Structure 1
Amino acid sequence: MAALDLAFFHVPIQRKERTSKEELTVDYTDTELRARYRFGREGILFLSDLVRDRLTRQTNRNHALSVEQQTMVTLRFLASGSFLQVIGDLYDTLGLDKSTVSRVVDSVLDALCEKRNEFIQWPTNLNQTKAEFYEFAGFPNILGAIDGTHIRIKRPHHDEPSFINRKGYPSLNVQAVCDAKGRFTNINANWPGCCHDSHVFRTSQVCAHMERNGNWENGILLGDSGYPCRSFSMTHFLNPNEQHHRRYNRCHAVTRSIIERTFGRWKRCFHILHSEIRMDPKKVTKIVMVCGILHNICIQLNEPDVADELVNEDVENGNNYNGQQDGRGIREHIADTYFNRH
């Protein structure tokens, strides 16, 4: 693993012959690094190694930016949400102007986007995924929680009305699915803000996949009222009159809240998602995707020590349902079977 180059921290670095993993002598602690870059020393090295092949400069110039420096400039941009010029000013000892920072950020974003299929993946162990969701409130057969969130952008030069959302500002409508641990299993950031959640879902690869493979036996998604109630996607009862309908709604809300908490954690970590991103929508799409990748890597590298805990994969999943294969029929079956206390 290559060493982390922190030469622009205004702190002395012990110079010595390069080795495969040289010691770092930097005043910043891991806590201080995370406050600025959202990753500690090992995390920054991990990310740098991911993109090293794409970012290594084939030059003998003394002032060429190292892969670590390029990675950290980009992380600082995503973590702070500051303008590119401000990011350049932070590293004035390196002589970074706005154009240089822009090129660095573009290169790192492109390199990380190429890794998206490694870090944003649909669940493969379906029984474990269902069991982990079941632990929240006893809702069976869940593969993911789905929701949309708006990322504010500057007013685009072309087709501006399409990007104005129902709250009156330009945005991208980002649809995401997460698992019970808050990891993104799918992100779709290709639609302008005027598009309704149901349209984004209906035209998405997730919907196509669930139509082919998803059902009550194989697993379903949980969504709010902005999504259709289908055989593979459950919404809540709008006007629950029965007690078991109300229990279903409470359980639905508790389980689905994981996607809302994931969005909150995601945006707190990468402040650029909170502010207006003053870039072309296509570049904003790339930024959103990279922030999703980094979010999952954050979880991967900082996961609590629960690896040895056994997951109950014997949770009853209702495979014997033989009723109508439509959303409302299956929803009624779930409410009556799991939440009707006779």
Structure 2
Amino acid sequence: MDESFMLMVSNLLHLHNSLDPSTSLLSSPSPPSSSSSTSSPSSLLSSSPPTPFLFFTLASLLSYLASQKKKPSTKPPSSTSTTTTNPESSTFSVSAFRALSTEHIWSLEAPLRDAQWRSMYGLSYPVFTTVVDKLKPHIVASNLSLPTDYAVGMVLSRLAHGFSAKTLASRYSLEPYLISKITNMVTRLLATELYPEFIKIPVSRRRLIESTQAFEELTSLPNMCGAIDGSPIKVKRGDIGGNMYECRYGYSSVLLQVVADHKKVFWDVCVKAPGGSDDASHLRGSLLYNRLVSGDVVWDKVINVRGHHVRPYIVGDWCYPLLSFLMTPFSPDGSGTPAQNLFDGMLMKGRSVVVDSIALLKGRWKILQDLNVDLTHAPQTIVACCVLHNLCQIAREPEPETWKDPDEGGAPARGLENEKSFHYFGDSLRQALADDLHQRLSSR
């Protein structure tokens, strides 16, 4: 019985006994005497029967019980903790998610609210709602039994923390196969429906001017519009056979290729090669390469450097071929002329943007550090993380701790027969850029 109720009853008993010591509320009533019927009204005040106090006690009890129904229960569901709840029963339930996202979330200050959301889903609440709003029509059309925001939140928590389907199944009280199915659906939608909106080749003059000016401020090289690099994404060894997926670091992987701008925003993503492939082969098999070689992508911003018409170009390390639209270093070991070595240093400074972008991508979406999805769904999962990365960069989300791969090496890429003209013009442009850079910096 509740201690406060027992205390109330005890106080009532003491109160009665102090008023009328000869009568006890707990004792049997004494038989009526002949004098009781002739008592005066004044005698009732000095020696009252127990009935009024019993009535008062019962009234107090009813009032107490009524007040207890109105009070919310503060007792925690677990007997071993007073501050945490059972994750399997409430923390990850739909109702708990709804309460967090609709009521509790708006009672917090925006910085605290968004920090809490990032810790769970990798992005702030406004960006989360943007993703949900854009995916909702497609998810609703799939007749998924779960609410859209709950399904998206569940997948984002997996991408942000690298949870396996089995881990999420135990937390959300769902079957692992259903977790995998929902993950595949959401990542496929991100990689297809949202990709064209958030990953675009910069062709507008405004965007080209913004990118080239920012890279020139960083490197002193004109008309640079992006940096390219590849990175292996570790996959489960049991899914594959042979050595074609083994990367230079010794684990099974698929190869990610990205081109990033000065804001660490990807404007091209490709996942088409096993981890054992080299960067040059992956580039040549990509849609970006085919579009640039065929002239499908037209960059109108042209400048004149020592009599050469220089269109916007991207930069990469020596593992990529030298082409008219792709500048690479003269030498990987600094054995060139002073002008060439200066150019190489500035080029690699510009290339560091894409290295930092990939490190940020893997730090923000930890599932890419050790991909725990089926190999057939690996490319769409990787691309989905790149789309989410761009959303975060565009929204200027805080950058978390990054994940950097070991320093890479590799032999310089060799040109192909059908690339001779691109290599010839690229070599002339590179030398002109190096000489112009050396002259400008030497004269300061």
TM-score normalised per structure 2:
0.63
Partner of 1:68: 149
The corresponding residue for 1:308 is none
Deviation at 1:241, TM superposition (A): 3.6
The residue aligned with 1:90 is: 171
Q: 1:9 to 1:34 in 2, by over 3 A?
A: farther
User: What residue is the counterpart of 1:116 in the other structure?
Assistant: 195
Q: Contact between 2:97 and 2:150, CA under 8 Å: does it hold in 1?
A: no
Bigger RCO of structures 1 and 2 (CA < 8 A, at least 6 apart): 1
Instruction: For residue 252 of structure 1, report the CA deviation from its aligned partner.
Output: 0.9
Structure with max Cα Rg: 2
Q: Which residue of 2 aligns with 1:46?
A: 130
4+ residue segments displaced more than 6 Å: none
Partners of 1:44 and 1:162 in 2: CA distance: 37
Aligned to 1:25: 104
Distance in 2 (CA, whole Å) between partners of 1:157 and 1:325 is: 43
Q: Pick the aligned partner of 1:101 from 179, 184, 191.
A: 179
Match of 1:295 among 380, 389, 412: 389
Q: Distance in 1 between matches of 2:396 and 2:292?
A: 31
Aligned to 1:312: none
Alpha-carbon spacing, 1:274–1:335, altered in 2? closer, same or farther (3 Å): same
Gaps of 5+ in 2: 1-91, 303-308, 399-422
In structure 2, how many angstroms separate the alpha carbons of the residues matched to 1:208 and 1:297? 27
Give 1:124 shift: 2.3
> Contact 1:156/1:281 (CA < 8 Å) preserved in 2?
no
User: How far has the Cα of 1:71 moved from its partner?
Assistant: 0.4
TM-score, normalisation: structure 1: 0.81
Conserved in 1, the CA contact under 8 Å of 2:323 and 2:427? yes
3-state SS in 2 of match to 1:56: helix
The answer to whether the aligner puts 1:164 opposite 2:246 as a matched pair is yes
Q: Distance in 2 between matches of 1:112 and 1:157?
A: 24
**Pair 1:329-2:428 in alignment:** yes
Matches within 5 A, 1:3-22: 8=94, 10=96, 13=99
- Offset, 1:7: 5.5
SS for the counterpart of 1:163 is: coil
Aligned amino acid, residue 388 of structure 2? L
Residue among 378, 386, 395 paired with 1:284: 378
Q: Which amino acid aligns with 1:88?
A: A
Q: CA–CA distance in 1 between the matches of 2:277 and 2:363?
A: 25
Change (3 A) 1:89 1:303: closer
Correspondence 1:213-292 to 2 at 5 A: 213=298, 217-238=310-331, 239-275=334-370, 277-292=371-386
Q: What is the rounded CA distance, in whole Å, between the counterparts of 2:102 and 2:246 in structure 1?
A: 51
Paired with 1:12 and 1:209, the residues of 2 have a C-alpha distance of 46
Identity score, percent: 23
Deviation (angstroms), 1:170: 1.1
1:203 CA drift (Å): 2.1
Q: Distance in 1 between matches of 2:151 and 2:240?
A: 31
Structure 1 letter corresponding to 2:262: A
Structure 1 stretches lacking a partner, 5+ long: 1-5, 15-21, 305-323
More displaced 10-residue stretch of structure 1: 26-35 or 109-118 = 26-35
Indicate how the Cα distance of structure 1 residues 198 and 76 shifts in structure 2: closer, same or farther if over 3 A, else same.
Answer: same
Encode CA deviations 1:291-321: one digit per residue, 9 max, x unaligned.
00000011122269xxxxxxxxxxxxxxxxx
Counterpart amino acid of 1:248? F
Deviations 1:136-187 (Å, cap 9, x if unpaired)?
A: 1211111210000000111255553221223322111111101111111111
- Separation (CA, whole Å) in 1 of partners of 2:428 and 2:251: 38
1:290, 1:36 → 2: CA distance?
Answer: 18
In 2, Cα distance between the equivalents of 1:86 and 1:237? 49
Shift of 1:236: 1.0
Q: What SS does the aligned partner of 1:135 have?
A: helix
Secondary structure of 2:267's aligned partner:
strand
Q: Which has the higher helix share?
A: 2
Partner AA of 1:253 in structure 2 = M
The answer as to whether partners of 2:235 and 2:253 remain within 8 angstroms in 1 is: yes
Describe the superposition over 1:183-240 as per-residue Cα deviations: whole angstroms up to 9, x where unpaired. Answer: 1111111110111101111222222222224795321110001001112111112144
